[in-house]
Every structure is written in structure tokens, then in C-alpha cells.
Amino acid sequence: MPLAAIFDCEGPRASAEEKAFFKDVDPWGFIVFARHCASADELRAHCDELRACVGRADAPILIDQEGGRVVRMKPPTFPAHPAPAVFGDLWRLDPTLASEASRLNGYLLGRLVSDCGVTVNCIPMLDVPQADADPTVIGDRAYAKHGDIIASLAKAACEGLLAGGALPVIKHLPGHGRALCDSHHQLPRVSARREDLQDVDFAPFRALRDVRMGMTAHVLYEAYDSERCATLSPRIIEEVIRGEIGFDGLLFSDDLKMKALGGSLEARMRDSLAAGGDVALCCNFTMAEKREVTKGAGALSGKSTARAAAALDELQAVERGETSEAYSRLQALLAPVLV
């Protein structure tokens, strides 16, 4: 069975050492970054090469292509897409058109990545931003400031993404919107009451709990676990993510290299899987770090195997063709808020 891990390559293409490593450990999937996206042809060739390493034509390949400031396939080489908050701005004018625009944007993002061999786009983000939170963490990456609007626009985005040939990932479970600092650099601690978390932060995730893949937050929620962040907390994964929210899809950790997590990479891997995560995300690791983190990993097994299979079963065949008319329609829909 594949290793419960997702890796990337240090350079624009896999080195001989990385190819041998991937062949040996057989990670469940891969993730790509801007350095792998010099052109559509380069990205497509890279994806083919990665799948050849593990001998699985359906090995999932992930990307973070949200639109706005979080993109790996960058303009002018690839089309620009608006930040999620733009769709929330349109919602205030016309909810029906906003939903259409979000669905169409999701479709075009799906086409953009899947045309190049990428099968998983780590959107939508369901975090509900709070007024005192660090705006550099969430900000315009959030669709809106209210959970019901977020859920509606995110649902439309998921539908569009699937129609475009890519799988969605809801993030960051159970909610990153109260973080006062960036988990890339330090551990956010949230002191909100359970009732407030349940009513506000968890609500969009409950609404989209049937999406087949999700990603945890490196955030500590004191009301549930005063010692461990969600990624490493059995209590939060079982009681909140699997329980209160009701998410039973394939659960990724956020990137294990982020500074919110302490301890060795091997321990982070081991603890994230022991807490109830299904697959660990290992981004921008050196070759030595890849080898280290693998010591704490195990093969995908049990419910994780079933969840992974159910997720991949949702991939849809897509008719490849021109998208220029769809982009024109999206621009027309967003015209009132893109002034």
C-alpha cells in the first residue's frame, strides 16, 4: 500500500535521487509549487514523471491554486483568477450571480490544473475571518465574513471544480479564522468558547462535510485541547472534525514543515497520523528531511484506504476544449466588483 504521505520535488523536475526515493517509498501523492509551473508543458511532463516513479497513473497530484495572492500557476503564463473575497463582494449585490460566478470560477480552476495533469486543488477555504485575526493569514482568501455565505459560495466552487476535472479539499479544519498569528511561523492559540466555535467556525465545515477531502489547521483550540493543535490532537480530530462537524473524508495534515509544529519531522509525521489524520503533507523538504519524515510514516490502511478510494472515485472525465467563452462570462459576472 502507498505511504501515507505527500511529497514535492526540490527543483523544477525530479532529480535521479528523488525518483529513486519515490519509487522506493511509494508516497500516496505529490504536490506542486510555482517552480514546477514554468509552462503548461513543463507541469504536464513533471506530473507524468512523478506518476511514473510510483507506477500509478491515478496517483493524486495536488496544488494550491486559490486565485488572488495564493497561486502556483502564475500570470502571465497562466490566466489570473480573482481572490475568493471577490465572490463575497458580488454576493452583497446579487447572491444568484455570485453563486454562478463561483461555480464558473471553480470550473475554470479545475480545467486550468487538470489540463496540466494536476488532479487535486486545495480549495475551498472555509475559514470564517474574525475582526482581530491576522489579516495576512486569511484576509481576502476568505469568501466572506459570514459562515452561511462562505458555505454557499464554497459549495458552488466545489461543484465547478469537479466539473472541471479536479477534486476539492476543504480547509482548514476545524477553522483558522481566529488565528492571531501565521502558523507558518508560530503556533496560533484560540481561546474562544466551545459555543462560539461551534456556532461560527465549524458551521461552514458542517455544511460541506460530505466533500471527500479536507485539511487540518495547525491551530490550538484551548476549549478542546490546551496542549496540542488540531493536526496533532486525537481529541479534536475525533470529537470535533469527525464528530461535531461530521467530516468522514480523507483528512490531510497541513504542511508538516510549518513552524507552528514543534519536535522532529519524524515525530510530527508519527503524531499527525496517530492523532487520526489519514495523510501527511510534506512540503519543501530537502532530500534528507524526506528520508527523516518517512521514518515516522506508515502505509495507508484501514479506513484511510477506503476514504482515499472514495475521494478518487469522484474524479470526472472532462471534455477538453476552449475556455475563452467561459472566461469572458466570468469577467462579465464579476464586472460590478472589479472596478
Positive/negative CA dihedral, 12, 5, 316, 109: negative
Structural domains in the chain plus CATH codes: 3-337 (3.20.20.300)
Cβ atoms of 214 and 173 closer than 8 Å: yes
Per-residue confidence (pLDDT) for residue 137, from 0 to 100: 79
Average pLDDT over residues 144-155: 97
Per-residue confidence (pLDDT) for residue 132, from 0 to 100: 77
Per-residue confidence (pLDDT) for residue 272, from 0 to 100: 98
H helix intervals, the chain = 16-25, 40-54, 85-93, 95-114, 147-163, 194-196, 203-207, 234-235, 265-274, 287-294, 302-312, 324-334
Per-residue confidence (pLDDT) for residue 136, from 0 to 100: 77
Does residue 174 have a pLDDT over 90?
A: yes
Strand pairing report for 220-221 and 279-281: unpaired
Q: DSSP assignment, residue 241? A: I
Positive/negative CA dihedral, 16, 270, 126, 170: positive
Which has the higher per-residue pLDDT, 319 or 88? Answer: 88
Cβ atoms of 217 and 178 closer than 8 Å: no
Per-residue confidence (pLDDT) for residue 109, from 0 to 100: 98
Q: Label residue 134 by pLDDT band (50, 70, 90).
A: confident
As a whole-number percent, the residues of the chain with pLDDT over 90 amount to 93
Per-residue confidence (pLDDT) for residue 181, from 0 to 100: 76
DSSP 180-200: SS-TTTS--EE---HHHIIII
Which has the higher per-residue pLDDT, 139 or 61? Answer: 61
Could you read off the pLDDT of 211-246 as tens digits, one per residue? 999 999 999 999 999 999 999 999 999 999 999 999
**φ/ψ of residue 167, rounded to 5:** -95, 140
Q: Which three cell numbers stand for residue 200?
A: 461560527
Comparing C-alpha atoms, which of 245, 247, 242, 198 is closest to residue 223?
A: 198
Per-residue confidence (pLDDT) for residue 327, from 0 to 100: 98
Amino acid at residue number 158: C
Question: What is the rounded distance in angstroms from the CA atom of residue 253 to the CA atom of residue 325?
Answer: 37
Comparing C-alpha atoms, which of 247, 240, 157, 165 is closest to residue 211?
A: 247
Average pLDDT over residues 293-321: 96
Does residue 133 have a pLDDT over 80?
A: no
- 46 counts as catalytic: no
H helix intervals, 115-189 = 147-163
Could you read off the pLDDT of 41-62 as tens digits, one per residue? 999 999 999 999 999 999 999 9
Does residue 182 have a pLDDT over 80?
A: no
Q: Is the pTM of this model over 0.95?
A: yes
**CB proximity list for 3: less than 8 A, separation 6 or greater:** 25, 26, 27, 28, 294, 297, 298, 299, 300
C-alpha pair distances (Å), 188 with each of 133, 178, 269, 270: 10, 9, 20, 21
Question: What is the rounded distance in angstroms from the CA atom of residue 222 to the CA atom of residue 235?
Answer: 12
Comparing C-alpha atoms, which of 205, 153, 156 is closest to residue 177?
A: 205
Report the mean per-residue pLDDT for the chain.
96
- Active-site residue among 115, 182, 184, 248? 184
- 254 counts as catalytic: yes
Cβ atoms of 27 and 269 closer than 8 Å: no
Whole-angstrom distance between the N-terminal and C-terminal Cα of the chain? Answer: 51
Average pLDDT over residues 191-219: 97
**φ/ψ of residue 227, rounded to 5:** -120, -30
- Active-site residue among 254, 255, 271, 278? 254
Could you read off the pLDDT of 238-267 as tens digits, one per residue? 999 999 999 999 999 999 999 889 999 999
